[in-house]
């Protein structure tokens, strides 16, 4: 019998809980196609990612999902939940509240939300999610984090450099592959990278940091790489950010440990972090000897657009060129983006 699937959209959703409940977890990323029927349900000034997944859902492309967990990561996500709940036929649709602040009060609240999620899953599917299965699940996902960090350590070494295109492929597999198999895949990948010496001459290339909104496709990445630059780090929720820091498996309060890890991970633009995000980016620029920063935002994503202004000022203050690219989550704008990237790389 096939394992039922629960989808999720935001990397603040703990996959460990989905897995411990006996489900296969799958990140919903849409299909990057121009939207067709979403117009009746969602206006055009809403996040193109949300519009895309709703469009796919309305077309019946997520019929394989038994459940769907969204978050209040932004207003568009909240509307996505409302529309999904009303118009898309999925057995279990849930919105998980994620605090926007990182302190003890927020941590206690988030722990409460995770307990509630566990209860909802238990009641809806008539299952028991025991601490033992949660711990087993945490072990498995911690292993993914350790392996992913190993890959990123390898990437620092120019001889074993892994391109951003390849990283996109590696990380996209995590959204669909069963976790045990995915960990095996990562182990094999690391071994192959250690053996292979790359012909890529990274030191001669312009070193780019890619940051901003979610991006699970390669088209902007390939444009940058095809112009001869190397993306040496990506600070996005669709790259390494979800894999920083492991969960304390020895904790007596496993839900608390999960809550703590998820809330204290590297923040995204929606969080109110008193400069942590900018500091992190400044550290990456130093550590990875970055020559230029490409900041990709999805159109109408207010968190990333407004946060981008703060980050741009910080980065330019460091004397590093900065380029804002606004995307619409389709391949349609690629030629405009190509021109902008080309010019940007010329001026670095």
Q: Is 245 in the site for another protein (CB under 8 A)?
A: no
Q: Is 90 in the site for another protein (CB under 8 A)?
A: no
Beta-carbon count within 10 A of 100 CB: 14
The answer for residues whose C-beta is within 8 angstroms of residue 60's C-beta and 6 or more apart is none
Q: Which of these, 164, 100, 155, 122, lies nearest to 255 by C-alpha position?
A: 122
Q: Is 52 in the site for another protein (CB under 8 A)?
A: no
**Residue of 147, 217, 326, 341 interacting with another protein (CB under 8 A):** 326
**What letter would DSSP give residue 2?**
P
Choose the binding region for another protein from 57-65, 107-115, 210-218, 284-292 (rule: CB under 8 A): 107-115
Q: Is 296 in the site for another protein (CB under 8 A)?
A: no
**Residue of 120, 241, 299, 338 interacting with another protein (CB under 8 A):** 299
Report d(CA 15, CA 8) in Å as an integer: 8
Q: Is 146 in the site for another protein (CB under 8 A)?
A: no
Q: Is 196 in the site for another protein (CB under 8 A)?
A: no
Q: Is 105 in the site for another protein (CB under 8 A)?
A: yes
| Cα 116-241-327 angle, rounded to 5 deg | 100
| Surface-to-core class of residue 309, CB atoms within 10 Å of its CB (0-12 exposed, 13-18 middle, 19+ buried) | exposed
Strands across the sheet with 65-71, in order? 24-27, 5-8, 65-71, 92-96
**Residue of 3, 36, 112, 157 interacting with another protein (CB under 8 A):** 112
- List residues binding another protein (CB under 8 A): 40-43, 45-46, 72, 74-76, 78-79, 81-82, 86, 95, 97, 99-101, 105-106, 109, 112-113, 116, 270, 272, 275, 297, 299-300, 302-303, 305-310, 312-313, 324, 326
């Amino acid at each position: 019998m096939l394992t039922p699937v629960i989808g999720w959209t935001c990397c603040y959703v703990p996959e460990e809980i989905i897995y411990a409940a006996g489900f296969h977890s799958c990140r919903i990323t849409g299909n990057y196609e121009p939207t067709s029927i979403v117009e009746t349900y969602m206006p055009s000034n809403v996040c193109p990612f949300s519009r895309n997944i709703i469009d796919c859902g309305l077309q019946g492309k997520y019929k394989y999902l038994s459940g769907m967990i969204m978050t209040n990561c932004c207003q568009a996500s909240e509307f996505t939940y409302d529309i999904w709940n009303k118009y898309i036929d999925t057995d279990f649709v849930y919105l998980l509240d994620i605090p926007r602040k990182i302190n003890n009060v927020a941590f206690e609240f988030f722990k409460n939300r995770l307990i509630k999620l566990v209860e909802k899953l238990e009641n809806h599917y008539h299952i028991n999610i025991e601490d033992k299965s949660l711990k087993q699940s945490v072990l498995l996902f911690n292993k993914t984090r350790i392996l992913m960090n190993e890959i990123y350590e390898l990437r620092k070494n120019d001889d074993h450099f892994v391109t951003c295109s390849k990283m996109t492929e590696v990380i996209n597999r995590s959204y669909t592959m069963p976790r045990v198999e995915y960990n095996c895949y990562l182990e094999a990948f690391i071994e192959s990278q250690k053996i292979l010496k790359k012909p890529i001459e990274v030191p001669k290339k312009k070193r780019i940091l890619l940051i901003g909104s979610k991006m699970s496709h390669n088209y902007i990445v390939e444009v940058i790489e095809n112009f001869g630059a190397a993306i040496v780090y990506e600070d996005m929720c669709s790259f390494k950010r979800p894999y920083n820091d492991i969960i304390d498996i020895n904790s007596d309060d496993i839900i608390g440990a999960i809550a703590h890890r998820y809330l204290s991970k590297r923040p995204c633009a929606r969080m109110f972090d008193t400069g942590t995000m900018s500091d992190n980016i400044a550290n990456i620029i130093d550590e990875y000897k970055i020559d230029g920063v490409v900041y990709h935002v999805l159109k109408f994503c207010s968190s990333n657009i407004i946060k981008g202004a703060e980050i741009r000022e910080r980065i330019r203050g460091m004397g590093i060129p900065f380029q804002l690219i606004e995307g619409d989550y389709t391949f349609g704008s690629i030629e405009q983006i190509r021109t902008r990237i080309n010019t940007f790389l010329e001026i670095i």
